[in-house]
Amino acid sequence: MAAAAHSAIASSAEAFLSCTSWPERSPRRFFPDFEPDRQPHFALPTNDFLDALIRVGCSLEAAQALHAAYAGGCRQVAASCAASYSTGVEALHQTLGAGEERRYIEWCQTLLLAVERRYTESTEKMRLAVLDEVRSA
């Protein structure tokens, strides 16, 4: 009996949700071409890392190879963070409506700072991990 009741509820729910008389909701948008004031900035590694590798005992060739690998990792993190930022801005754009321009700008700024911080923290963690590996070798 419970199975029959569940089946009836499921059928009713499906019929209700597929009802064609429901109006289609289009995404709310304001300023279709509105862009945030600035895009995130992701600083690439400097030669300080190369110098640090040499100070902890790497040969110049090994330090250059590790620096190149680290720079590649930084570029990947930057690409990921930039994609997260773009996705977040688009989600905000789709969510907020007319009259919420100020809130949109504030949230974009908050998102921008969070993404830049995540990049900085991730690349610093990667930098320290490489230096720790070199020290322990």
SS3 content of the chain, % helix, strand, coil (to 5): 70, 0, 30
95 pLDDT band (50/70/90 cuts)? confident
Percent of the chain with pLDDT over 70: 74
DSSP state of 44: P
DSSP annotation string for 66-122? HHHHHHHHHHHHHHHHHHHHHHHHHHHHHH--TT-HHHHHHHHHHHHHHHHHHHHHH
Q: What is the mean pLDDT of the chain?
A: 83
**Structure-block tokens of residue 7:** 């089946």
pLDDT higher than threshold 70 for residue 99: yes
The pLDDT of residue 118:
96
Would the pTM count as exceeding 0.75? no
pLDDT digits (tens, 9 = 90+) for 59-94: 999 999 999 999 999 999 999 999 999 999 988 888
Q: Which amino acid is at 104?
A: Y
In whole angstroms, what is the distance from residue 61 CA to residue 122 CA? 25
The pLDDT of residue 1:
53
End-to-end CA distance of the chain: 69
